[in-house]
């Protein structure tokens, strides 16, 4: 039920994102969703893509520092209280969120929240037991 996310180290300077996206375009890789964590000096670009292996390979070949992280994707109805329905479960079980980001599915009915947990297995367990929809990686990559 886990999802592979790719993280890329980028300096805070013009042209960094352009280089990454050009490499992905040339390798015919589709980005499902992304987020950037930034400081004044550097940023970490996080991607969910349709082909994890190929993405890691082409970016490393071009000299980027790339790491793979396990994240958890949770699907909720795209309406008020959607995100809350997840957070109240996590809070009740004392599970800490390192970071999260979200996107809305093409159908427009559901939102997908990408979570980074210290212990993904434990979080998945809790989410499923509370009847939340955890998306497997394969499903997410092909959305």
Partner 1 sequence: MIYNEEFETLPREVLEALQFKRLQQVLQRVYHTVGFYRRTFDAAGVRPDDIKTLADLSRLPFTSKQDLRENYPFGLFAVPMSSVVRLHASSGTTGRSTVVGYTKRDIDTWSELMARCFVAAGLTKNDIIHNAYGYGLFTGGLGAHYGAERLGASVIPMSGGNTKRQIMILQDFGPTAICCTPSYALNLAEQGRAMGVDMRSLRLRVGIFGAEPWSDQMRDQLEDQLAIQALNIYGLSEVMGPGVAMECSEGREGMHIFEDHFIVETIDPETGAILPPGEEGEIVFTTLSKEAFPLIRYRTRDVARLITAPCRCGRSHVRMGRIMGRSDDMLIIRGVNVFPSQIEAVLVGIEGLEPHYQLVVDREGTLDTLEVQVEVSERTFANADEVKVLQKMERRIVKDIKDYLGVSARVKLVEPKSLQRFEGKASRVTDRRKL
Min separation Cβ 53 and partner 1, Å: 16
Judged by CB under 8 A, the chain residues 107 through 136 that form the site for partner 1 are: 116
3-state secondary structure of 76: strand
122-142 b/e with 16+ CB inside 10 Å = b? ebbebbeeeebebbebeebbe
Q: Is 92 in the site for partner 1 (CB under 8 A)?
A: no
Q: Is 20 in the site for partner 1 (CB under 8 A)?
A: no
Closer to partner 1 at the Cβ: 25 or 60? 60
Closer to partner 1 at the Cβ: 56 or 135? 56
How far is the C-alpha of 3 from the C-alpha of 64, rounded, in Å?
21
How far is the C-alpha of 76 from the C-alpha of 110, rounded, in Å?
6
- What residues make contact with partner 1 under the rule CB under 8 A? 5, 7, 9-11, 16, 37-39, 41-42, 44, 46, 63-67, 69, 98-99, 116
């Amino acid at each position: 039920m886990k999802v592979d996310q790719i993280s890329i180290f980028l300096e805070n300077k013009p042209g960094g994102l352009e280089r990454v996206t050009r490499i992905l375009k040339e390798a015919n890789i589709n980005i499902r969703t992304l987020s950037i964590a930034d400081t004044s000096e550097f940023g970490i670009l996080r991607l969910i893509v349709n082909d994890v292996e190929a993405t890691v390979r082409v970016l490393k070949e071009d000299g980027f520092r790339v790491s793979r992280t396990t994240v958890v994707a949770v699907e909720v109805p795209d309406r008020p209280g959607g995100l809350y329905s997840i957070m109240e479960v996590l809070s009740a079980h004392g599970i800490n969120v390192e970071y999260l980001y979200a996107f809305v599915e093409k159908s427009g009915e559901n939102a997908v929240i990408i979570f980074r947990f210290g212990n993904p297995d434990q979080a998945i367990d809790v989410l499923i037991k509370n009847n939340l929809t955890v998306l497997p990686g394969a499903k997410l990559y092909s959305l």
